[in-house]
Chain A
Amino acid sequence: MKLVEHFQYGLSSPICLTWELTYACNLACVHCLSSSGRRDPRELSTQECKAVVDELRRMQVFYVNIGGGEPTVRPDFWELLDYSIDHDVGVKFSTNGIKLDRKRADQLARTDYVDVQISLDGATAEINDQVRGPGSYATAVRALENLAEAGFAQPKISVVMTRQNVDQLDEFAAIAATFGAQLRITRLRPSGRGADVWDELHPLPSQQRQLYDWLVAHGDNVLTGDSFFHLSAYGEALPGLNLCGAGRVVCLIDPVGDVYACPFAIHDQFLAGNVRSPGGFGEVWQNSALFTELRQPQTGGACRSCMHYDSCQGGCMAAKFFTGLPLDGPDPECVRGFGEAALAARDGSIAVPTSQVDHSRPGPRPRVPVTIGMPSLRGSAGGGPAMQPDKACETSPLVGMPGDPSDSRLRVPAAGS
């Protein structure tokens, strides 16, 4: 049995554990998956964080992905970094670069078992700062310069792909090359503040195709964090597990110790427990009701009969959840167009889930007018009959692609019909 099949049933410890250390952040990125900004007064203390590290060591978690908010704004960040590394848990942390001055860069270059990832969402300040705020591009570049000068080997640059930056893929690769960094591109999910801007920022179907083609042609050393497995249905599967690992291979520990199935699913429905409870993180990982349920064999639901199910596995659970789609149906960005059809068929009377966990700083937030489905589809927003496309050429993103003999002719029944 291949490893990925074993993964579906869960592991004794997570492999890619994400730990958000704080909800505090110096930035206010419009798409922040954790809706960060303000520190939560119930944040785990330094001692509590060390106790979590002790547990991770006992569980033999190989490494932890530390983020936030901006993890380096916690005064004890560097102490916790050293503590983790000294206790056999490697650290990979994600930062906007604000604290990576030359001194810290030198320190990191001398530290083993730590990887650094700098967030950047535009190859130019013009594009980047629209999403991450004025000055954020400069901050990221400065951090990359400091790391390069200090001799820190191969930081990562992590880019969230948006409608605005898909055309900059080559430039991102060039920036990475300039700084001796490795490029990582990831998918925008409608999570956290991302829900507010997803309609406006998520790549268009033609851009998904562009992205896929670029990865196939140039993506050899480009990491994706398995973000784009939903694009595997275009053809050649992209490298990676190609499956949702929530609660099985990955999970999130949030700044107040809540354990969620996935960092993109910060919502009560995906809350498995809290590390402050008896048995700590280990107990939650091994025995929580939510994770046990997620580790049951997945049937694939409505997607099961699509010939591409084996490569896309129905896509991203969080993306479906936060766009109000059923979890056993297509991903909203299903490359066969079934997601668009499902979005159009959403009954306007059912509210799209929103998370109560919001640490955004007060102030005006960009709002996007809610659109239901594509303008060209039939069915009124007020809830007309559930419509299905009757010909692939009307809605499929593959229209115009030379020959689509793989069309399964599957038409997905609309939710509730």
Chain B
Amino acid sequence: MAPSSDVESTDTDEPLAEETLVEEVSIDGMCGVY
């Protein structure tokens, strides 16, 4: 099985073929930031 990219951003909603190892999150993308 061809491995897919291992770094994903939660800003996209592409479905991934397999579980990735690293995920990036926008810290601004959380409610409550002043």
Contacts and interface: CB of A to CB of B under 8 A. Distances in A.
A224 B32 contact: no
A137 to B, nearest CB: 20
Interface in A211-268: 223-227, 229, 237, 239-246, 249-252, 262-264
Given A237-B13, A239-B11, A241-B10, A2 B23 contact: yes
Contact of B30 (A67, A92, A245, A316): A245
Contacts of B28: 184, 223-226, 240
Interface string B1-34: 0000000001101000000000101111111111
Contacts of B10: 2-4, 241
19 contacts: A2-B23, A18-B33, A18-B34, A66-B34, A92-B33, A224-B29, A225-B30, A225-B31, A226-B29, A227-B31, A237-B13, A239-B26, A240-B11, A240-B28, A243-B31, A246-B32, A249-B32, A250-B30, A263-B34
Interface of A: 2-4, 15-16, 18, 65-67, 92-94, 117, 158, 184, 223-227, 229, 237, 239-246, 249-252, 262-264, 316
Nearest to A316: B31
Given A2-B23, A3-B23, A239-B26, A226 B13 contact: no
A262 B25 CA distance: 20
A244 B29 CA distance: 11
A241 B30 contact: yes
A8 B6 CA distance: 23
A16 B25 contact: no
A4 B9 CA distance: 11
Nearest to A252: B32
B30 A65 contact: no
A158 B28 CA distance: 12
A266 to B, nearest CB: 12
Contacts of B11: 239-240
A342 to B, nearest CB: 21
Contacts of A117: 34
Contact of B32 (A66, A93, A242, A245): A245
Contacts of A243: 31
A262 B29 contact: no
Contacts of B32: 16, 18, 65, 225, 245-246, 249-252, 262-264
A252 B33 CA distance: 10
Nearest to A222: B28
Contacts of A16: 27, 30-33
Contact of A250 (B13, B25, B26, B31): B31
A241 to B, nearest CB: 5
Nearest to A182: B28
The 6 closest A-B pairs by CB, nearest first: A240-B29, A250-B32, A65-B34, A239-B11, A225-B33, A226-B31
Contacts of B31: 16, 225-227, 229, 241, 243-246, 250, 262, 316
Contacts of A158: 34
B34 A226 contact: no
A225 B29 CA distance: 5
Given A3-B10, A4-B10, A240 B26 contact: yes
A240 B23 contact: no
Contact of B29 (A2, A93, A241, A264): A241
A262 B27 CA distance: 16
Nearest to B13: A237
Nearest to A66: B34
Contact of A239 (B23, B29, B33, B34): B29
Contacts of B33: 16, 18, 65, 92, 225-226, 250
Nearest to B31: A226
A312 to B, nearest CB: 12
A117 B30 CA distance: 16
Contacts of A246: 31-32
A332 B31 CA distance: 17
A19 to B, nearest CB: 9
Nearest to A187: B31
